[in-house]
Amino acid sequence: MYTWIHKFGSPKHFYRIAGKVIPWTAAITVILFLYGLYGALITSPPDYQQGESARIMYIHVPAAWMSMFVYMILAVAGAIGLIWRIKIADVMAQASAPLGASFTVLALATGSLWGKPMWGTWWAWDARLTSELILLFLYLGYMGLTTAIEDKRTAARAGAILALVGVVNIPIIHYSVDWWNTLHQGATVTKFDKPSIHIDMLIPLLVMAVAFKLYYFTVVLVRARADVLFNERRSAWARDIVAKVKL
Amino acid sequence: MGGYGLYVWSSYALALVLLLGNLVAARVHRKKILQDLISRLRREKSS
């Protein structure tokens, strides 16, 4: 395992392996999105209380899950970069930030679009919504901080520390619906007993969630791969690759 | 969409815009880096 990490942590192998992985994850992402959308928009039943507006769930919930998942990647990769000085980890963290911020925007915006017809308001200063908004500010702060600092190593360290401090917000988002009285409904999928959601809604929801996750991995690898090539531009393997590229 | 069409389709449209936008941005990012590295290599060779 450790040697595997080191091998994958070497920029040259990362570049090569990522290049092989990307077409596959991209293809599977497209297939899952098509299947997931078919389920979300056509075969799944309307909700017995919320009617057709519940179809927003198939975007909103995966986006919200991803907003937290990508933040954990940011924090864990940041910690790996801080402790073991593995440069790929810093590259992955920084390539993840714009995607994580986008998922957060999507979760907030679709939440608004769902809240308006169901709760009668676009926004409420409620625990779940507010903690998710703080998540967006953490992402934006991270992106601002890492791009503002010229020195790459210092930028990565500052970003990692910010990301790690912000981790405290993740359990707050998750448990906010239990800890406080909120407008937002409680957990329906991640419950220890049976999820309280119909199987015809659960399957497209999970397919969409996996599609979002693979989409993230595909795009983050495209970005990280380019950054790795730039960082390693002085090494022989990177120069070989650049010499062969045709644009 | 039972009267909720505007809300539902706006959600799906925004998702499409954000996901495609990020994909395009990543590809543009990669292309810019490659162009930069290619011109660096050329400059080195000519000097």
ipTM of the modeled complex: 0.93
Residue A64 within a domain: yes
Q: What percent of chain A has pLDDT over 70?
A: 94
Cβ-based contacts under 8 A for chains A and B: 97
Residue A200: predicted pLDDT: 87
pLDDT digits (tens, 9 = 90+) for A77-130: 999 999 998 889 999 999 999 999 999 999 999 999 999 999 888 998 989 999
Q: How many domains does chain B have?
A: 1
Tell me which chain A residues have a C-beta less than 8 angstroms from the C-beta of B41. Answer: 239, 242-243
Spell A167-184 as b/e; 16+ CB within 10 A means b. Answer: bebbebbbebbeeeebeb
Residue A9 within a domain: no
C-beta atoms of A225 and B30 within 8 A: yes
A-chain residue closest to B18, CA distance = A102
Q: How many domains does chain A have?
A: 1
> Which helix H or strand E contains B45, and what residues bound it?
helix B5-46
Residue A129 within a domain: yes
| Alpha-carbon span A190 to A212, nearest angstrom | 18
Residue A23 within a domain: yes
Range of the domain at B47: 1-47
**How far B27 CA sits from the closest chain A CA (Å)?**
7
Residue A7 within a domain: no
Tell me which chain A residues have a C-beta less than 8 angstroms from the C-beta of B11. Answer: 56, 59-60, 109-110, 113-114
Residue B21: predicted pLDDT: 97
- Single pTM value for the model: 0.93
What is the average pLDDT across B16-43? Answer: 95
Of B4, B22, B26, the CB nearest to A117: B4
Backbone φ and ψ of A117, nearest 5°: -75, -25
Residue A186: predicted pLDDT: 82
C-beta atoms of A243 and B41 within 8 A: yes
C-beta atoms of B11 and A114 within 8 A: yes
pLDDT digits (tens, 9 = 90+) for A8-39: 678 999 999 999 999 999 999 999 999 999 99
| Alpha-carbon span A69 to A71, nearest angstrom | 5
B20 DSSP 8-state letter: H
Range of the domain at A82: 16-244
